[in-house]
Amino acid sequence: MVKLTVLVVGSGGREHALALAIARDVEVESVHVAPGNPATWALDAQYGIDHDSDLGKRISSVDPMDSASVIEVAEELGVNLVVVGPEAPLVAGLADAVRDAGIQCFGASKAAAQLEGSKNFAKQIMTAAKVPTARSMYCTTAAEASWALSEFGAPYVVKDDGLAAGKGVVVTEDRDEALAHAKACLPVVIEEYLDGPEVSLFVICDGNKGLPLLPAQDFKRVGEGDTGPNTGGMGAYCPLPWAPENLVSKVMKKVVKPTLKEMFNRGIPFQGLLYVGLALTTKGLRVVEFNVRFGDPETEAVLPLLKYPLGQILYAAAAGSLGDIPELTWDDEVSLVVVYAANGYPGVPSKQGTITIPPPVDQVQVIHCGTGLDENGDLVPRGGRVLGIVAQGEDLIEARENAYSFLEEIDFPGGFYRSDIAQTASVDRIPTPTL
């Protein structure tokens, strides 16, 4: 095992969850998150860095889009591993800059991050690698978009080609709405609709090899019963009691291995996190999307169950030596996260009110996704998704009970959450698809 000092870049729930999982390793001397949030600043304090100190202030003023500011703090902290959380800095080339500065970095290169940065690039790779995905058309004009909508028919699926923070995709029965979205976003990818349950599978990659984590499912729509607009995700759970037994091996064989090979052959090896968004359709599995970073909030649910030290795995991936890591093993429990969002999300979130969190209880962790401190030092909302309440249990019924009884005790007048996260799965009402 390698002694590690780690800097996680980002400020949301994913980064908080990554830091907590990395910190569980006895070989980790310290882990910091930049710019972080009030919960990760408290973690800094445990490692002797006060939030009000000069270094504390430099950590919390890091701009992930400015590689010089990340590298300066990484060097000052003397870290030997940087882990990049969000996609935008990866697409802008942060991981390349960190590696050029001589520090190991877990995160896709700028060229490889195009798998998420351009839906069209991702489709080209999938086509070349014969990865099953929705038939699609890349449209640069309104006339092409109109033709493609008629070609594929309803429900219509229109995707902004570039990064859009989870808001670039519209799935609708309404042709006018689909065309309006296409016109607003050109160029777009228009594709056939995929039915069936969705699964998120995270695969840690070192350029050649991929190591899958547990499959998870997230809840994209803002409202109860999967209604309303898409969000970044309102909750998630894992493992999936209804998943076919061969799900992971099939995704590795049909999707991950050919994709890694295709990227390698093009001279853009994929090192970092390959997030495979899948639909298990009546015609078999299909890739809905690739992302190049851990999913949020699925990460919050998945990582607490991981037995092998996460920092060691990420370091091995960054160093190109994932082959040295044994097959991963998992706690025999289930895990779920429910997001407490600010009123208005996924539109403009309210920043009103303060948040009071009750004292910790067993099997429940409070993850900070979008919080800040006001001038009195009170905890306040600073984003759309504000908290993630993560809970474990013997089964989903118990994990839900643990999460929701804690949620009821949180005082957050300007917030809301979905009360049906993992409900259908908890009562065994999702049929197992055949692959």
Residues binding ligand AMP (CB under 6 A): 134, 157, 159, 169, 171, 191, 193-194, 198, 220, 230, 277, 288-289
Compare residues 291 and 365 and give the one whose CB is closer to ligand GLY.
Answer: 291
Put residue 196 in one of left, alpha, beta given phi > 0 → left and psi -120 to 50 → alpha. Answer: left
Q: Give phi and psi for 304, each to the nearest 5.
A: -60, -20
Closest CA to 298 of 17, 66, 5: 17
Of 276 and 318, nearer to ligand AMP (C-beta) is 276
134 binds, among ligand AMP, ligand GLY, none (CB under 5 to 8 A by kind): ligand AMP
Whether residue 379 contacts residue 358, with contact meaning beta carbons closer than 8 Å, is answered with no
Task: For strands 81-84 and 105-106, give the pairing.
Answer: parallel
Looking at residues 317 to 346 of the shown chain, list those that interact with ligand GLY (rule: CB under 6 A): none
Binding residue (CB under 6 A) for ligand GLY from 160, 296, 385, 396: 296
Q: Where are the alpha helices (DSSP H) in 252-395?
A: 257-265, 298-302, 310-319
By C-beta, is 44 or 116 nearer to ligand GLY?
116
Residues paired with 286 in a beta bridge: 279
Min dist. Cβ of residue 170 to ligand AMP (A): 8
Q: What number of other Cβ atoms are within 10 A of residue 420's Cβ?
A: 17
Q: How far is the CB of 250 from ligand AMP (least distance, A)?
A: 19
Touching ligand GLY, residues 335-394 (CB under 6 A): none
Comparing CB distances to ligand AMP, the nearer of 62 and 288 is: 288
**Cβ of residue 137: shortest distance to ligand AMP, in angstroms?**
12
Per-residue x/- mask for ligand GLY, residues 163 to 182, rule CB under 6 A?
---x----------------
CA atoms within 13 A on the CB side of 293: 30
Which residue among 10, 295, 304, 349 contacts ligand GLY (CB under 6 A)? 295
In angstroms, give the least distance from the CB of 160 to ligand AMP.
9
Tally Cβ neighbours within 10 Å of residue 37. Answer: 25
> In the bound complex, what is the minimum distance in angstroms from residue 297's beta carbon to ligand GLY?
6
**Residue 268 has which token pair?**
């853009």
**What's at 212, amino acid-wise?**
P
* Residue 295 partner contact from ligand GLY, ligand AMP, none using kind-dependent CB cut-offs of 5 to 8 Å: ligand GLY
Q: Which of 37, 104, 291, 312 binds ligand GLY (CB under 6 A)?
A: 291
State in angstroms the smallest separation of the CB of 88 from ligand GLY. 13
Distance, in Å, from the CA atom of 34 to the CA atom of 10, rounded to the nearest integer, reads 6
| 10 contacts ligand GLY (rule: CB under 6 A) | no
Q: How far is the CB of 87 from ligand GLY (least distance, A)?
A: 9
Q: Which residues contact 111 (CB under 8 A, 6 or more apart)?
A: 268
Instruction: Name the residue with the smallest CB distance to ligand AMP.
Output: 289
What lies within 8 Å, CB to CB, of 244 at 6+ separation is 250, 280, 432, 433, 434, 435
Does 298 engage in binding with ligand GLY (CB under 6 A)? yes
For ligand AMP, give the closer residue by CB, 242 or 404. Answer: 242
Asked if 215 is part of the footprint of ligand GLY (rule: CB under 6 A), the reply reads no
Strands (E), 129-258: 136-139, 156-160, 169-172, 188-191, 198-206, 210-212, 217-218, 221-223, 227-230, 235-238
Angle at 138 between CA 136 and CA 143, to 5 degrees: 110
**Binding partner of residue 343 among ligand GLY, ligand AMP, none, CB under 5 to 8 Å per kind?**
none
What is the footprint of ligand GLY within residues 230-289 (CB under 6 A)? Answer: 232-233
- Residues at the interface with ligand GLY (CB under 6 A): 166, 218, 232-233, 291, 295-296, 298
